[in-house]
């Protein structure tokens, strides 16, 4: 048996656990997209890890998971000095619990909550992750224009019952169904 060292993003950034969320007063010194990018740039395959992180963020938006804090992402330090991200853990649709906030754990451009999500926010998020090229922007526009777009749910309080009610925004699904498969997987290419 070989032990593999794992460190969460708080540890990788030298932050105490209480700083696992981005808060306006912390600026560039806390958990934010610039810090996430700096972590992903230390991995064996930075561009691939940044793209994977972008897809994870899209999945979280579609799922209604806004609790993607720095203790929910981690790095594996493999033999030979290779570093890669761990499989995803602690993923759940937090917006189904009306006691939770819709504020993101890390802000996506100027978007601080699910209600702020739009195409411009996704383009800015991609640029902040290091995909500022025309090809990156084209990828986002292709996703937004895709006939495979789905409607994602954001929440608002239903005044009559107090339970979360859903209102929908058109957003893009980074998913594809593989032929013969009963499950969806993250797409690795823009829809044709």
Residue 172 scores a pLDDT above 60: no
**pLDDT tens by residue, 20-46:** 999 876 666 689 999 999 999 999 999
pLDDT of residue 73: 97
What pLDDT shows up at residue 18?
92
Query: What percent of the chain stands above pLDDT 70?
Result: 68
- Is 65:100 a contact under the CB 8 Å cutoff? no
pTM exceeds 0.85? no
Chain-centre distance of CA 157, in angstroms?
24
The pLDDT tens digits for 111-169 are 999 889 888 888 889 889 988 777 766 765 666 555 444 433 333 333 433 333 333 33
**Percent of the chain predicted with pLDDT > 90:** 43
C-alpha angle 12-13-14 in degrees, rounded to nearest 5: 95
Q: What is the DSSP string of 124-190?
A: HHHHHHT--SHHHHHHHHHHHH-TT-EEEEEEEE-TTTSSEEEEEEEE---EEEPTT-SSEEE-SS-
| pLDDT given at position 66 | 92
């Amino acid at each position: 048996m070989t032990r593999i060292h794992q460190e969460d993003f708080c540890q990788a950034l030298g932050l105490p656990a209480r700083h696992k969320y981005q808060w306006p007063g912390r600026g560039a010194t806390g958990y934010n997209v610039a810090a996430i990018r700096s972590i992903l740039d230390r991995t064996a395959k930075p561009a691939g890890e940044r793209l994977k992180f972008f897809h994870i963020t899209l999945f979280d938006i579609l799922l209604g998971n806004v609790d993607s804090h720095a203790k929910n992402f981690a790095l594996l330090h493999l033999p030979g000095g290779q570093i890669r991200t761990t499989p995803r853990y602690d993923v759940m649709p937090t917006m189904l619990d009306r006691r939770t906030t819709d504020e993101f754990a890390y802000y996506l451009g100027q978007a601080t909550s699910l209600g702020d999500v739009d195409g411009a926010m996704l383009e800015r998020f991609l640029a902040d992750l290091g995909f500022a090229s025309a090809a990156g922007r084209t990828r986002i526009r292709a996703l937004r224009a895709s006939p495979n777009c789905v409607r994602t749910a954001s929440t608002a309080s239903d005044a009559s019952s107090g339970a979360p009610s859903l209102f929908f925004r058109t957003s893009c699904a980074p998913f594809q169904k593989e032929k013969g498969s009963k499950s969806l997987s993250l797409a690795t290419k823009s829809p044709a």
